[in-house]
Amino acid sequence: MEKEAGKMIQSCPTTQAQSQLAEAVLRESGQNVNLCYQCRKCAAGCPISYVMDYKPAQLIHAIRLGMDDLVLNSKTVWLCASCETCTTRCPQEVDVAKVMDAVKITALRRGVKPAIPQVASFYNAALANIKKCGRMYELGMIVGFKLRTFEFFKDVGLGMKMFRKGKLRMVPSLGGALTTLRIFRRVKNVEKKNRNA
Amino acid sequence: MAAKYAYYPGCSLHSTGSEYDVSFRAVCEKLGIQIDEIKGWVCCGTSPAHCTSRLLSLALPYENLLLVERMGATDVVAPCASCFSRLKTAVHEAAEDPDIAGQIREVLDAPLPESVNVLSPLEIFNDGTPIAEAVTKQWPGLKVVCYYGCLLTRPSKVMQFDECEYPMAMDELLASLGIATLDWSYKTDCCGGALAVTRTDVVLKLTHDILEEAVAVGANAIAVACPLCHVNLDTRQTEVEQEYGTQYGLPVFYFTQLMGLAFGIPPAKLGLQKHFVSADALLSGVRED
Ligand code: SF4
Ligand code: SF4
C-alpha cells in the first residue's frame, strides 16, 4: 500500500521538476524528499534538534526548494547522531537519517567546508585508522584526531583513566589490515567509475 | 543440542568494551553455547563510514559476512549494537537495491552470501536456551532499568528486533534470572553516541536526562547492550555529575555481566573491575548467599 502511494507521488509533476539538490540526494541515498508533507514528527523526536541550526524537517524542506547553500553549510547534518528516530517515525517513510548522510557526502564531494569541522576530522581520523589497521585502534585514532583538530588537552584525564583500567590497547591489532586497504581502494574506484558513467 | 555461532566482536569489544566480550564469553561457556570468533574480521566502519561513503559502509560489513560463510557458519552473533546494526543494514540494503549489491560484489570480488543470519546475543539467549536452570545466585535488591539505546531496534524496518519504541527482550531475559527490572520511558532514547568526542556538551546533556530518569523511577543500576552507551553512561558519569551538580554513583552493567552474576560467576571474571562507577557497594548490599 505505502509502496503504491510512493509510486503515485513520484509520477506527479511537482516531483519531476525537483531541485538538483533533491536529485543529488536521491541518487546518493535512494530517498525522495518530495514525499515529505512537513508533519515535523522527525524534528519533534530528534534528540539533537536543540543544538541544530535547522530542524530535520526544515532541512528536508530546504533540499526540496534547492537551497544548496543553506543545506550544504548547515550544522544540522554534522550534528546528527544517526540515532534513526526520525527514520523510524516518519509517516511518509522518508529515511531522514540517510538524507543526513547523503547531504554530508554531497557537501564533501563538492568541496564545501564542513560546518562542524571537528566532526569531519573525527571521521577522517577514524577512517584513516580503519584503512591502515583493519580495525579501529582507539589510541591511534585519538592521536590522529588531535593532530587534525589541535584539541590536545580535551579528555586527556579520561583517556589516562581508561588506559589504567585496561580499556585502551597499547598496540594496534593488524588483523585484516591488508583487507581494508584493498576494500578502501576498490570502493574509491567503483565510486569514481559510477560517477563518470 | 549445543548451539553454535560465528562471533563478530567488533572493535569496541576488543578495547573500550572488553568487559562485554569477557562476560559474553563466560556466559556462553556456562550455557554450553559455542561461539567461534571470525578470523581476520575487520571493522564494520560504523558512523565514519556511512556518513562519508554508502558503498564503503556496506562493503566492510559484507567482508565479514563473507568470512562467516567461509567458516561454514550460517548464524553470526554481534553483541555491539552498532556492529549489529551495520551488519543488518548491509544485508537489508543489498536485498532492496540490486544495483548497490552489484557494487558491493565488485568491491569484494565475490558473490554475496545469501543465507547468513545476523543475531544479537539477546536473540540467542531468548531462543529457548534454558537459562533459568543455570541460576545459582539471587540478587533480590537489584532494581535495574534496561537501556536499549538507538541501534538495537532502529530503524525497525531493518532491525526487526522487538518493539522499536518499547522493547522488552532484555527485561524479560533478566526477569527470567530473578532480577527485577523497572518500567521507564528512556529505554530507546539516544545518549549521543560518538558525538562525545566532538560535542561533549550534547552527550553530557542527553546522558544526564537518562541518568535522572533512571534515578527517578527508583533504579539502582542500569543494564546496557552497547559499548558506546556504556562509555557515555559509565565512563562519563562523573563528568555529568560535575557539570550538573548531581550525585548518582549509578553502576552500569552489560546485561551479560548481570547474567554472569546470577550464574554465580565471580565479578572479576566478568570484568566488573573495569567500570568507572564501582558496583562493589551495591553488590555487597543486595547479595543473598
Ligand atoms: S517526519 Fe517525514 S513527513 Fe514528517 S516532516 Fe519529517 S520527513 Fe517530513
Ligand atoms: S538520526 Fe539524526 S536527525 Fe534523525 S533523529 Fe537522530 S539525531 Fe536527529
Q: Is B98 on the interface with A (CB under 8 A)?
A: no
Q: Is A185 on the interface with B (CB under 8 A)?
A: no
- Phi-psi domain of A183 (left: phi exceeds 0; alpha: psi -120 through 50; beta: other): alpha
For residues B51 and B17, the answer to whether their CB atoms sit within 8 Å is no
Enumerate residues 6+ apart whose C-beta is below 8 A from B76.
B5, B6, B7, B8, B38, B64, B65, B68, B87, B116, B117, B118, B119
For residues B145 and B184, the answer to whether their CB atoms sit within 8 Å is yes
Say if residue A129 is exposed, middle or buried (CB neighbours under 10 Å; 0-12, 13-18, 19+).
Answer: buried
Residues B101 and B180 in one domain: no
pLDDT above 80 (res A16): no
Looking at the complex, report in whole angstroms how far the Cα of residue B150 sits from the nearest Cα belonging to chain A. Answer: 5
Residue B66's domain comprises 4-122
Q: What is the pLDDT of residue B52?
A: 92
Please state the three-class secondary structure of A90-128 as a single string.
Answer: CCCCCCHHHHHHHHHHHHHHCCCCCCCHHHHHHHHHHHH
Cα(B199) to centroid(ligand 2), Å: 15
Q: What is the CATH number of the domain that holds B169?
A: 3.40.50.11810
Task: Please report which residue ranges of chain B form alpha helices under DSSP H.
Answer: 10-13, 18-31, 46-50, 54-70, 81-96, 98-108, 121-125, 156-159, 169-176, 195-198, 200-216, 227-230, 237-244, 255-262, 280-286
Residues B137 and B223 in one domain: yes
Q: What is the pLDDT of residue B233?
A: 96
For residues B220 and B253, the answer to whether their CB atoms sit within 8 Å is no
Residue B225, in any domain of the structure: yes
pLDDT above 50 (res B122): yes
Residues B37 and B113 in one domain: yes
Q: What is the pLDDT of residue A136?
A: 79
Residue with cell 552500569: B252
Residues B141 and B227 in one domain: yes
Reported as a pLDDT band with limits 50, 70 and 90, residue B1 is very low
- How are strands ordered across the β-sheet holding B75-77? B34-37, B4-7, B75-77, B117-119
Give tens-digit pLDDT for A79-113. 999 999 999 999 999 999 999 999 999 999 999 99
Average pLDDT over residues B6-12: 95
Distance between CA atoms of B172 and B104, rounded to whole angstroms?
38
More confident residue, A146 or A1: A146
Burial pattern B24-43, b for ≥16 Cβ within 10 A else e, equals: bbbbbebbebebeebeebbb
> How does the average pLDDT of chain B come out, rounded?
94
Q: What is the pLDDT of residue A2?
A: 47
pLDDT above 60 (res A7): no
For residues A64 and A102, the answer to whether their CB atoms sit within 8 Å is no
Cα(A88) to centroid(ligand 1), Å: 11
Average pLDDT over residues B83-101: 96
Per the CB < 8 Å rule, is B150 touching A84?
Answer: yes
Residue B194, in any domain of the structure: yes
Per the CB < 8 Å rule, is B107 touching A28?
Answer: no
Q: What is the pLDDT of residue B42?
A: 94
Q: Is B190 on the interface with A (CB under 8 A)?
A: yes
Q: What is the pLDDT of residue A197?
A: 76
A59 CB within 6 A, ligand 1: no
Residues B79 and B12 in one domain: yes
Distance between CA atoms of B88 and B50, rounded to whole angstroms?
13
More confident residue, B223 or A122: B223
Domain end residue (candidates: B95, B122, B149): B122
Domain end residue (candidates: B103, B122, B141): B122
Residue B158, in any domain of the structure: yes
Residues B15 and B58 in one domain: yes
**Domains in chain A, please, with CATH?**
2-109 (1.10.1060), 117-196 (no CATH)
Q: What is the pLDDT of residue A169?
A: 65
- Phi-psi domain of B117 (left: phi exceeds 0; alpha: psi -120 through 50; beta: other): beta
Give tens-digit pLDDT for B226-265. 999 999 999 999 999 999 999 999 999 999 999 999 999 9
Q: How many domains does chain B have?
A: 2
Q: What is the pLDDT of residue A139?
A: 67
Give tens-digit pLDDT for B20-65. 999 999 999 999 999 999 999 999 999 999 999 999 999 999 999 9
Q: What is the CATH number of the domain that holds B38?
A: 1.20.1050.140
Distance between CA atoms of B13 and B24, rounded to whole angstroms?
10
Of A174, A166, A105, A162, the C-alpha closest to A136 is A174
Q: Is B235 on the interface with A (CB under 8 A)?
A: yes
Please report the residues numbered 50 through 89 in chain A whose beta carbons come closer than 8 angstroms to any beta carbon of chain B. Answer: 51, 79, 81-85, 87-88
Name B252's bridge partners. Answer: B222
pLDDT above 80 (res A4): no
pLDDT above 50 (res B158): yes
Cβ contacts below 8 Å, chain A against chain B, sum to 164
Give tens-digit pLDDT for A162-194. 777 776 666 666 667 789 999 999 999 999 998
Residue B127, in any domain of the structure: no
For residues B109 and B67, the answer to whether their CB atoms sit within 8 Å is no
Average pLDDT over residues A148-152: 60
Strands (DSSP E) along chain A, which ranges? Answer: none
Percentage of chain A modeled with pLDDT above 70: 77
Q: What is the pLDDT of residue A166?
A: 73
Q: What is the pLDDT of residue A1?
A: 43
Per the CB < 8 Å rule, is B55 touching A168?
Answer: no
Residues B271 and B137 in one domain: yes
Residues B99 and B205 in one domain: no
